[in-house]
Amino acid sequence: EAQVTQNPRYLITVTGKKLTVTCSQNMNHEYMSWYRQDPGLGLRQIYYSMNVEVTDKGDVPEGYKVSRKEKRNFPLILESPSPNQTSLYFCASSPRTGSTEAFFGQGTRLTVV
Amino acid sequence: GQQVMQIPQYQHVQEGEDFTTYCNSSTTLSNIQWYKQRPGGHPVFLIQLVKSGEVKKQKRLTFQFGEAKKNSSLHITATQTTDVGTYFCAGRFTDKLIFGTGTRLQVFP
């Protein structure tokens, strides 16, 4: 089944403790991205990647890192999480830049205390 | 930077009433997409509009792309309880897909 898989689905952590949210897609898509969703603000893009080893900042990249060593994986890294990074995170992939639909993962609800 | 504004933020309707959400961009878009997110779910692609003035229909849903490719609308005729959710527009700016703030639709039976 074609899908985007995020893990974990839920995470509660403490301020400053490094964490990684994994994202994997099995559709051989070139384009992958991370969004955070907050009430009243919609979906805001954190980082995106147009292909392996190619990443770029979205609208809200501060406090986040990403890597794209393989086509299928695009992990989101929070080196030192803070409470303002408490949010719902979505990973998405598309066949290529500028193409049709984005396929979203199930989401990761992160709470930083 | 590029911004995509969406109104209204919330809409409550009685089942059978119509519903419209509007999307406006600060700059010209390459294309615009619409997504639906059910409560507790993830965004799911509905449609993409590419041409100036384009109109597309999916059953009770009608999507329009403005002549200047800076605005768009989604109209639902005779809403049903299954239409509940948040509807997002997303504008394509070269490499980026910028989402609107979304319209949360509640339908009362």
As a residue count, chain B comes to 109
The residues, ordered by sequence, that sit 6+ positions from A62 with a Cβ below 8 Å of its Cβ are none
Residue of A3, A5, A32, A101 to mutate, testing the B interface (most B Cβ within 10 Å of its Cβ): A101
Average pLDDT of chain A to the nearest whole number: 94
From first to last of its 109 residues, chain B has per-residue pLDDT tens of: 678 999 999 999 999 999 999 999 989 998 999 999 999 999 999 999 999 999 999 999 999 999 999 999 999 999 999 999 999 999 988 778 889 999 999 999 9
Q: In percent, how much of chain A has pLDDT > 90?
A: 89
Burial class (CB in 10 A: 0-12, 13-18, 19+), A92: buried
Of A3-12, A63-72, B88-97, where does mean pLDDT reach its minimum? B88-97
Instruction: List C-alpha distances in Å: A80 to A17, A19, A62, A96, B95.
Output: 6, 8, 11, 31, 28
pLDDT (average), residues A45-69: 95
The residues, ordered by sequence, that sit 6+ positions from B45 with a Cβ below 8 Å of its Cβ are A100, A101, A102, A103, B33, B34, B35
Q: Does B87 touch chain A (CB under 8 A)?
A: no
